[in-house]
Amino acid sequence: MNTTLISLKQQLAPLADLIKDKNDVFYFDYPLHLNVGDLLIYHGTEQFFKDHHINVTLRRCEFDLDINEVKQQITPHTTILLHGGGNFGDLYPQHQKIREAMVQHFPHNRIIVLPQTLYFKDQKNLEKSAALFSQHTDCHLLARDERTAEAFKPFSPNVALSPDMAHQLSGTLPTKQGNTGKTLYFLRKDIEASEVEKNILATLPANANVKDWEDILIRLDSIVLALSWRMSKFANQRNWGWLKNLFHQFWFAYTKGIVKRVASVFLQHDQVITTRLHGHIFSCLLEIPNRVCDNAYGKNSGYANLWTKNIDFVEIDKK
């Protein structure tokens, strides 16, 4: 296995030392959606719990998280972990609201924001959020890149750089065997897409294999997701913690299948050219040669230059 990939997994280990009592841990905002990048982070996080013997006693997504339920179960020693990713800021307000609610409601518990990339369109929103966070005396913010670490400073004195949680999956996934002669162009189509994608598409032959997460997902995934939203909202309305727990077990198993399926699609290619950070990270975990291009606000190059540039099969697009 690649030594840089092993080292990135090892660099996640200090996170476990931040957890006060490994048997008293809450994990919130796990992804109940079909962004496979977030699902990789989620499965990496769950692998981290397993590898470091962390017993999570309460797991909730955005649809079944109830502050009153948390208040009933929390103890002075509970460590609250908030899902990592690239949604710290004002592009995805529903997730930011969860983090802000935790900081406000639980001022005496250690809160750890797992590795994130920060992006605020509006400076006023950043200042408001920083004012809230800075009132909490024991909030630890992990940044996936240096720009984010710098921007986190007004939020908390406890800021550290950390690779993405998906790196915990290193060594648990199949890796590239043999050659197919195929290239996968894995390009964003969502709100973070930019001129970069347009420029790449303009140069490709008509038969080029261009995909985003949604193109690999199947109709059943959307049906399962729609039912899952209903189920978790229903469990929340009824205050049925047992159903929320049961639902999480189902969702974890179902999304593990999605990760396997996406891995098999990636592994059919000799090279991946991508504007998605987790298109890049996933390719690295599967040991597929890949070229990473930037997204709309520099998230990818910031990450790759800090963590993955020394991997011998990675190329960072200089455009």
Residue range 211-270, pLDDT digits in tens:
999 999 999 999 999 999 999 999 999 999 999 999 999 999 999 999 999 999 999 999
Both tokens of 53, joined, read 């013997």
Tell me, yes or no, whether 271 lies in a domain. no
Provide the CATH number for the domain around residue 71.
3.40.50
Cβ neighbours around 92 below 10 Å, total: 15
User: What average pLDDT does this structure show over 67-74?
Assistant: 98
Tell me, yes or no, whether 278 lies in a domain. no
Residue 133: domain span: 3-169
Q: How many domains does the chain have?
A: 1
Cβ neighbours around 137 below 10 Å, total: 11
Both tokens of 60, joined, read 């909730």
For the chain, give the mean pLDDT: 95
- Judged against a pLDDT cut of 70, whether residue 168 lies above it is answered with yes
User: What average pLDDT does this structure show over 117-134?
Assistant: 96
User: What average pLDDT does this structure show over 142-169?
Assistant: 97
Predicted confidence at residue 298, as pLDDT, reads: 74
Predicted confidence at residue 202, as pLDDT, reads: 87
- Among 215, 196, 203, 176, smallest CA distance to 300 is for 196
User: What average pLDDT does this structure show over 140-149?
Assistant: 96
Tell me, yes or no, whether 157 lies in a domain. yes
- pLDDT bin (cut points 50, 70, 90) of residue 150 is very high
Helices (H), 52-182: 67-73, 93-105, 123-134, 146-152
Both tokens of 313, joined, read 């099969």
Tell me, yes or no, whether 74 lies in a domain. yes
Q: Are 39 and 209 in contact (CB under 8 A)?
A: no
Residues 6+ apart with CB under 8 A from 273: 183, 184, 185, 186, 200, 290, 291, 293
Residues 6+ apart with CB under 8 A from 110: 18, 19, 20, 79, 80, 138, 139, 140
Tell me, yes or no, whether 81 lies in a domain. yes
Tell me, yes or no, whether 319 lies in a domain. no
Tell me, yes or no, whether 112 lies in a domain. yes
Tell me, yes or no, whether 312 lies in a domain. no
pLDDT one-digit tens code per residue, 273-308: 999 999 999 999 999 999 999 866 677 888 999 999
Q: Is the dihedral of CA 305, 116, 16, 263 positive or negative?
A: negative
- Judged against a pLDDT cut of 90, whether residue 39 lies above it is answered with yes
